[in-house]
A and B are shown apart, each in its own frame.
Chain A
Amino acid sequence: MLALAATPALAKSSGTILLQERCATCHDLKGPAAVTLSALRMRKGPDLFYAGNKYRAGWLVRWLEKPTRIRPAGMFYLDHIKPGPKRDVIDTTTLTPHLALNAGDAVSAAEALMGLKANGKLLGTKPFIPGPSPMGEMTFDKFYGCTACHEIEPEFGGLSGPEVYTAGRRLTPEFMLSFIRDPQAWNPKGLMPNKHVPEANIPKLVNFLIELAKKDWK
Chain B
Amino acid sequence: MRGLGIVFIAMAILAGPRAAAETAKNNYNAYCVQCHGLRGNGMGLNTDEMSVQPRDHSDAKSMSGRSDKELFKVIKEGGLAISKSVLMPAWKDVLSDDEINDLVGFLRDVCKCTHGN
Which residues of A are at the interface with B, using a C-beta cutoff of 8 A?
Answer: 32-33, 35-38, 40-41, 73, 77-78, 81-83, 86-90, 142-145, 147-149, 156-160, 182-185, 188-191, 193-196
Contact = CB atoms under 8 A, between A and B. Distances in A.
B85 to A, nearest CB: 7
B19 A73 contact: no
22 contacts: A35-B19, A38-B26, A78-B33, A81-B38, A83-B37, A83-B39, A88-B38, A88-B44, A145-B88, A148-B50, A148-B89, A158-B50, A159-B46, A160-B34, A160-B46, A183-B93, A188-B18, A188-B19, A189-B19, A193-B94, A194-B90, A194-B93
B49 A147 contact: yes
B30 interface: yes
Contact of A81 (B45, B49, B86): B45
B35 interface: yes
Contact of B34 (A35, A38, A77, A86): A77
B47 interface: yes
Given A83-B39, A184-B19, A188-B17, A78 B89 contact: no
Given A182-B93, A191-B30, 9 more contacts: A36-B19, A41-B30, A81-B45, A83-B39, A87-B48, A148-B46, A148-B50, A158-B35, A184-B94
Nearest to B90: A193
Is chain B's binding surface mostly helix, strand, loop or mixed?
A: loop
Contact of A77 (B27, B45, B87, B94): B45
Contacts of A33: 17
Contact of A87 (B16, B19, B47, B85): B47
Interface residues of B, number: 34
Contacts of A189: 19, 30, 94
A73 B34 CA distance: 10
A90 B39 CA distance: 15
Contacts of B90: 193-196
Nearest to A190: B94
Contacts of B18: 35, 188
B29 interface: yes
Interface in B1-60: 16-20, 22, 26-27, 29-31, 33-35, 37-39, 43-50
Most buried by A among B18, B50, B86: B86
A189 B18 CA distance: 9
Nearest to A121: B14
Complex A-B, nearest 5 residue pairs according to Cβ-Cβ distance, in ascending order: A158-B46, A193-B89, A87-B43, A160-B34, A188-B19
Contact of A159 (B26, B45, B89, B91): B45
A77 B30 CA distance: 9
B91 A83 contact: no
